[in-house]
Amino acid sequence: MKIVLNRLREEETFDCNYFAPRYYFETEWCLDMHGYIDREELDVRLEEINRTVAENPLMSQRAKKGLLYVYGTISFILLLFFIYAASLFGRVIAPSIISIISTIAYFGGKYLVDEEAKRRSGRFSDAFKLLFDKYNATDNPTANWKLKWRN
Protein backbone atom coordinates (compact mmCIF):
# COMPACT_ATOMS: atom_id res chain seq x y z
CA MET A 1 0.00 0.00 0.00
CA LYS A 2 1.33 3.43 -0.94
CA ILE A 3 0.46 6.62 0.90
CA VAL A 4 0.52 9.93 -0.95
CA LEU A 5 0.24 12.98 1.30
CA ASN A 6 -0.78 16.39 0.10
CA ARG A 7 -0.66 19.47 2.30
CA LEU A 8 -3.26 22.21 2.42
CA ARG A 9 -1.68 25.49 1.35
CA GLU A 10 -2.77 29.03 2.22
CA GLU A 11 -2.61 31.88 -0.25
CA GLU A 12 -1.29 34.74 1.85
CA THR A 13 -2.50 38.11 0.64
CA PHE A 14 -2.90 41.55 2.13
CA ASP A 15 -6.36 42.18 0.69
CA CYS A 16 -9.90 42.02 2.07
CA ASN A 17 -9.76 38.22 2.43
CA TYR A 18 -8.13 38.63 5.82
CA PHE A 19 -10.81 36.72 7.74
CA ALA A 20 -11.56 34.15 5.03
CA PRO A 21 -8.18 33.17 3.58
CA ARG A 22 -7.98 31.12 0.42
CA TYR A 23 -6.75 27.58 0.99
CA TYR A 24 -6.07 25.06 -1.75
CA PHE A 25 -4.50 21.69 -2.48
CA GLU A 26 -1.83 21.57 -5.14
CA THR A 27 -0.30 18.36 -6.40
CA GLU A 28 1.09 16.78 -9.51
CA TRP A 29 0.64 13.25 -10.68
CA CYS A 30 3.55 10.99 -9.69
CA LEU A 31 4.54 7.37 -10.22
CA ASP A 32 3.16 6.45 -6.80
CA MET A 33 -0.32 7.09 -8.25
CA HIS A 34 0.24 4.81 -11.27
CA GLY A 35 -2.45 2.15 -11.34
CA TYR A 36 -4.65 4.05 -8.90
CA ILE A 37 -5.61 7.25 -10.71
CA ASP A 38 -4.61 8.79 -14.03
CA ARG A 39 -3.59 12.41 -14.64
CA GLU A 40 -6.89 13.63 -16.04
CA GLU A 41 -8.91 12.05 -13.26
CA LEU A 42 -6.54 13.55 -10.67
CA ASP A 43 -7.05 17.01 -12.19
CA VAL A 44 -10.84 16.61 -12.08
CA ARG A 45 -10.75 15.36 -8.50
CA LEU A 46 -8.36 18.11 -7.41
CA GLU A 47 -10.62 20.75 -8.94
CA GLU A 48 -13.63 19.32 -7.08
CA ILE A 49 -11.62 19.10 -3.84
CA ASN A 50 -10.47 22.73 -4.17
CA ARG A 51 -14.07 23.79 -4.82
CA THR A 52 -15.05 22.08 -1.56
CA VAL A 53 -12.17 23.85 0.23
CA ALA A 54 -13.38 27.22 -1.10
CA GLU A 55 -16.97 26.55 0.01
CA ASN A 56 -15.86 25.67 3.56
CA PRO A 57 -13.24 28.23 4.63
CA LEU A 58 -11.00 27.61 7.60
CA MET A 59 -9.76 30.23 10.03
CA SER A 60 -6.04 30.92 9.83
CA GLN A 61 -3.80 31.89 12.72
CA ARG A 62 -3.57 35.34 11.17
CA ALA A 63 -7.36 35.71 11.24
CA LYS A 64 -7.53 34.46 14.83
CA LYS A 65 -4.94 37.03 15.85
CA GLY A 66 -6.80 39.74 13.93
CA LEU A 67 -10.07 38.93 15.68
CA LEU A 68 -8.34 39.03 19.05
CA TYR A 69 -7.02 42.50 18.15
CA VAL A 70 -10.57 43.56 17.27
CA TYR A 71 -11.84 42.34 20.64
CA GLY A 72 -8.90 44.08 22.31
CA THR A 73 -9.78 47.35 20.60
CA ILE A 74 -13.41 47.05 21.65
CA SER A 75 -12.40 46.35 25.23
CA PHE A 76 -10.00 49.33 25.13
CA ILE A 77 -12.87 51.59 24.00
CA LEU A 78 -15.02 50.21 26.83
CA LEU A 79 -12.12 50.82 29.18
CA LEU A 80 -11.91 54.47 28.13
CA PHE A 81 -15.65 54.82 28.62
CA PHE A 82 -15.46 53.42 32.15
CA ILE A 83 -12.49 55.64 33.00
CA TYR A 84 -14.53 58.63 31.91
CA ALA A 85 -17.54 57.40 33.91
CA ALA A 86 -15.34 56.79 36.95
CA SER A 87 -13.97 60.31 36.78
CA LEU A 88 -17.53 61.62 36.87
CA PHE A 89 -18.96 59.34 39.58
CA GLY A 90 -16.10 58.30 41.82
CA ARG A 91 -12.61 56.93 41.87
CA VAL A 92 -12.91 53.98 44.27
CA ILE A 93 -14.77 51.50 42.07
CA ALA A 94 -13.01 52.35 38.79
CA PRO A 95 -9.88 50.12 39.02
CA SER A 96 -11.84 47.00 39.94
CA ILE A 97 -14.43 47.59 37.20
CA ILE A 98 -11.68 48.20 34.64
CA SER A 99 -9.83 45.00 35.52
CA ILE A 100 -13.04 42.95 35.52
CA ILE A 101 -14.15 44.29 32.13
CA SER A 102 -10.69 43.76 30.61
CA THR A 103 -10.51 40.19 31.85
CA ILE A 104 -14.00 39.33 30.65
CA ALA A 105 -13.36 40.94 27.25
CA TYR A 106 -10.09 39.05 26.73
CA PHE A 107 -11.37 35.62 27.72
CA GLY A 108 -14.73 36.19 26.03
CA GLY A 109 -13.03 37.21 22.80
CA LYS A 110 -10.63 34.27 22.93
CA TYR A 111 -13.53 31.88 23.54
CA LEU A 112 -15.58 33.28 20.64
CA VAL A 113 -12.63 33.10 18.24
CA ASP A 114 -11.83 29.51 19.24
CA GLU A 115 -15.48 28.47 18.86
CA GLU A 116 -15.62 29.98 15.36
CA ALA A 117 -12.43 28.11 14.43
CA LYS A 118 -13.92 24.84 15.74
CA ARG A 119 -17.16 25.42 13.85
CA ARG A 120 -15.31 26.10 10.60
CA SER A 121 -13.04 23.07 10.96
CA GLY A 122 -16.07 20.88 11.73
CA ARG A 123 -17.87 22.04 8.58
CA PHE A 124 -14.65 21.50 6.61
CA SER A 125 -14.26 17.92 7.94
CA ASP A 126 -17.91 17.06 7.32
CA ALA A 127 -17.78 18.33 3.74
CA PHE A 128 -14.67 16.28 3.02
CA LYS A 129 -16.12 13.20 4.67
CA LEU A 130 -19.08 13.36 2.28
CA LEU A 131 -16.85 13.99 -0.73
CA PHE A 132 -14.37 11.25 0.14
CA ASP A 133 -17.16 8.78 0.90
CA LYS A 134 -18.37 9.39 -2.65
CA TYR A 135 -14.85 8.84 -4.01
CA ASN A 136 -14.24 5.73 -1.91
CA ALA A 137 -17.49 4.15 -3.09
CA THR A 138 -15.96 3.86 -6.56
CA ASP A 139 -12.21 3.82 -5.83
CA ASN A 140 -11.97 1.77 -2.62
CA PRO A 141 -10.33 -1.38 -3.97
CA THR A 142 -7.48 0.64 -5.45
CA ALA A 143 -7.49 4.01 -3.68
CA ASN A 144 -8.74 5.22 -0.33
CA TRP A 145 -9.25 8.96 0.20
CA LYS A 146 -8.83 10.37 3.74
CA LEU A 147 -8.49 13.71 5.46
CA LYS A 148 -5.90 13.81 8.26
CA TRP A 149 -5.46 16.80 10.56
CA ARG A 150 -1.88 17.64 11.52
CA ASN A 151 -0.29 20.54 13.35
pLDDT, one tens digit per residue, over 33-58 is 656 777 788 788 888 888 888 888 77
Instruction: Compute the Cα dihedral for 6, 50, 67, 14 and give only its sign.
Output: positive
Give the pLDDT score at 123: 92
pLDDT for residue 77 is more than 80: yes
121, 147 contact by CB (below 8 A): no
19, 63 contact by CB (below 8 A): yes
pLDDT-derived band at 86, boundaries 50, 70, 90: confident
The domain segmentation of the chain, as residue ranges, is 8-139
Give the pLDDT score at 126: 93
